Chain A
Amino acid sequence: MCPCKTLSVFRREFKSYFDSPVAYVFLVAFLVLVGFLTFGFSSYYERGQAVLTPFFIWHPWVYLLLVPAATMGLWAEERRNGTIELLLTMPITLTEALLGKFLAAWTFIGVGLALTFPILITTSYLGNPDWGAVICGYVGSFFLAGAATAIGVFASSLSRSQVIGFVVALAILFTLLIIGFDPVLGAIAGWGVPTYVTDALSSCSLLKHYMSLGRGVLDFADVGYYVGMIVFMLAAAQYVTDCRKAS
């Protein structure tokens, strides 16, 4: 595998976000939503504590809406425009192309996350936050974004329609988020589902692993979960793209 080829695809994809207003709309929507939810809904100031919990807690739900928007075109547009035929008849493997696209989308969302730094500055101005927890929160959020992006890449590979790419990614993400939600797990258990099944469902949840990272515990099991999810979704995207590229 050649990193230069992956890098070429990465550069093209990353730049393509900024070639249209998409990038700016996305970044503004991300920052406005995160800011509004943090300050408006989570009583950030009223807590009297210099913590970023009310900020990080909203990230999964903001990603739920915005990551599918950033990933829906990655393969769907290639297929709709026929450029997939151009790309995959050049001396580049599907894995190299797929990785380039995934990394571009992940980095783009990472830029959005990095632009939340004023909230960090505000918190450190108001008090003395636990920097370990802050770093852990950002790492967790970035990995969550990576897993969501990989799910979006997979959804985009399913058809030549961006709308389908968006809706499928949203549905998968929503399912993987709510199965870690206690009321949902309680409802499932209420149907007579055995505990080991609800435990298994809970351990598959994006939310559960995010919450433990958000508490400031950098557990390799959580990081491993996200890496596993990314690898699994990209492998699925590769399989689907390979089978359906000509359709």
Chain B
Amino acid sequence: MLKVDNLKKRFGDFEAVKGISFAVEKGEVLGFLGPNGAGKSTTMRMITGFIPPTSGTASICGHDIIKDPIAAKACLGYLPENAPSYRAMTVTEFLTFVARIRGFHGKAARAKVDAALEKARLTNVARQTIDTLSKGYRQRTCFAQAILHDPQVLIMDEPTDGLDPNQKFVVREMIKEMAAEKAIIISTHILEEVDAVCTRALIIAQGEIKADGTPDELRAKDPSGKLDVVFHNLTMGKEGN
């Protein structure tokens, strides 16, 4: 469903992403792990078509993000970092705007908005202005826009960052509910997320993939069997020890 082929990104002399390739199939929840500045967000921004790669490409449901960006973006749901939204709008107005951009109008748009409100557990704040909501609700509002069109591929950049434990629990439950039907990528630097929702994880550092496997396979890389030790060793190298 999602295929990433040798993506590279260079900003001036700095090579932020140094040739990343992987694929995600339906039913997989891929954890995209790495320390801050590892190139996670840059990679996601290239996959979603927000910034062009220096070389390489990605395809979503068979549509190349560079050659056919509109068709590729139509199959994609994206929750950017910090869950941005138009804060002066109410939750319903915001989701209706997204539905219209995604080609739903009239009753079809209303049905999509209602379904997204329900899935993201937002029905009780549907008429509230986004600016007046707590961070957890704002996160879920942005989550609702990402799943509104029932996309086959869902990409989320740090979806639980800054949330309290209860809010994290709700977001993870929502991800699990739809995991079987979609190919999902979650970028995070919170390792507990991997055990909580991921079926597979990539560890990325300095713009390269350092490890790729199921959570158990990654744990087996160190005698301690602890994911945080494996993560530290792979992302910091010897100088970090």
Residue B70, interface by CB 8 Å? yes
Whether the pair A86, B103 counts as a contact (CB closer than 8 A) is no
CB distance from A74 to the nearest CB of B (A): 13
CB distance from B91 to the nearest CB of A (A): 14
CA of A91 to CA of B149 in the docked complex: distance in angstroms? 11
Whether the pair A12, B86 counts as a contact (CB closer than 8 A) is yes
The 0/1 profile, CB within 8 Å of B marked 1, for residues 89-100 of chain A is: 111110000000
* Known A90-B73, A90-B101; further 15 A-B contacts with Cβ < 8 A: A4-B100, A5-B100, A8-B100, A19-B88, A20-B88, A81-B86, A81-B87, A83-B86, A86-B80, A86-B145, A89-B48, A89-B49, A89-B50, A91-B74, A92-B101
Whether the pair A89, B101 counts as a contact (CB closer than 8 A) is no
CB distance from A16 to the nearest CB of B (A): 6
Whether the pair A83, B88 counts as a contact (CB closer than 8 A) is no
Q: How many residues of B sit at the interface, in one of the four size bands?
A: 20 to 34
Residues of B within 8 A of A (CB): 45, 48-51, 70-71, 73-74, 76, 78, 80-82, 84-89, 97-98, 100-103, 105, 142, 145
Whether the pair A81, B103 counts as a contact (CB closer than 8 A) is no
Contact of A246 among B51, B82, B85 (CB under 8 A): B51
CB distance from A150 to the nearest CB of B (A): 23
Q: A4-B100, A89-B49, A90-B102 are in contact. Are A16 and B85 (CB under 8 A)?
A: no
Instruction: Determine the main DSSP class of A at the interface with B.
Output: helix
What residues of A have a CB within 8 angstroms of the CB of B49 in the complex? Answer: 88-89
What residues of A have a CB within 8 angstroms of the CB of B45 in the complex? Answer: 85, 246
CA of A88 to CA of B145 in the docked complex: distance in angstroms? 14
What residues of B have a CB within 8 angstroms of the CB of A7 in the complex? Answer: 100
Q: A83-B86, A86-B85 are in contact. Are A91 and B100 (CB under 8 A)?
A: no
Q: A12-B86, A82-B84, A85-B80 are in contact. Are A91 and B145 (CB under 8 A)?
A: no
What residues of A have a CB within 8 angstroms of the CB of B51 in the complex? Answer: 245-246
Q: How many residues of A sit at the interface, in one of the four size bands?
A: 20 to 34
Contacts across chains A and B counted by CB atoms under 8 Å: 70
Q: A86-B142, A89-B76, A93-B70 are in contact. Are A246 and B50 (CB under 8 A)?
A: yes
CA of A87 to CA of B142 in the docked complex: distance in angstroms? 12
Contact of B82 among A12, A20, A82, A89 (CB under 8 A): A82
CA of A93 to CA of B78 in the docked complex: distance in angstroms? 16
CA of A8 to CA of B103 in the docked complex: distance in angstroms? 10
Q: A85-B45, A246-B50 are in contact. Are A91 and B84 (CB under 8 A)?
A: no
CB distance from B226 to the nearest CB of A (A): 34
CA of A90 to CA of B86 in the docked complex: distance in angstroms? 15
What residues of B have a CB within 8 angstroms of the CB of A19 in the complex? Answer: 88-89
What residues of A have a CB within 8 angstroms of the CB of B89 in the complex? Answer: 12, 16, 19
CA of A7 to CA of B84 in the docked complex: distance in angstroms? 22
CB distance from A75 to the nearest CB of B (A): 14
What residues of A have a CB within 8 angstroms of the CB of B74 in the complex? Answer: 91
CA of A215 to CA of B42 in the docked complex: distance in angstroms? 55
What residues of B have a CB within 8 angstroms of the CB of A93 in the complex? Answer: 70
CA of A92 to CA of B80 in the docked complex: distance in angstroms? 17
A-B complex: 8 closest residue pairs judged by Cβ atoms: A82-B84, A8-B100, A91-B74, A91-B73, A85-B80, A89-B48, A19-B88, A83-B84
CB distance from B197 to the nearest CB of A (A): 22
Whether the pair B103, A4 counts as a contact (CB closer than 8 A) is yes
CA of A16 to CA of B131 in the docked complex: distance in angstroms? 14
CB distance from B46 to the nearest CB of A (A): 10
Whether the pair B98, A90 counts as a contact (CB closer than 8 A) is yes
Complex interface residues of chain A between 1 and 37 (CB less than 8 A to chain B): 4-5, 7-9, 11-12, 16, 19-20
The closest CB in chain A to the CB of B155 belongs to A89
What residues of B have a CB within 8 angstroms of the CB of A81 in the complex? Answer: 84, 86-87
Q: A19-B89, A86-B142, A91-B70 are in contact. Are A4 and B105 (CB under 8 A)?
A: yes
The closest CB in chain B to the CB of A9 belongs to B101
Complex interface residues of chain A between 62 and 90 (CB less than 8 A to chain B): 81-83, 85-90
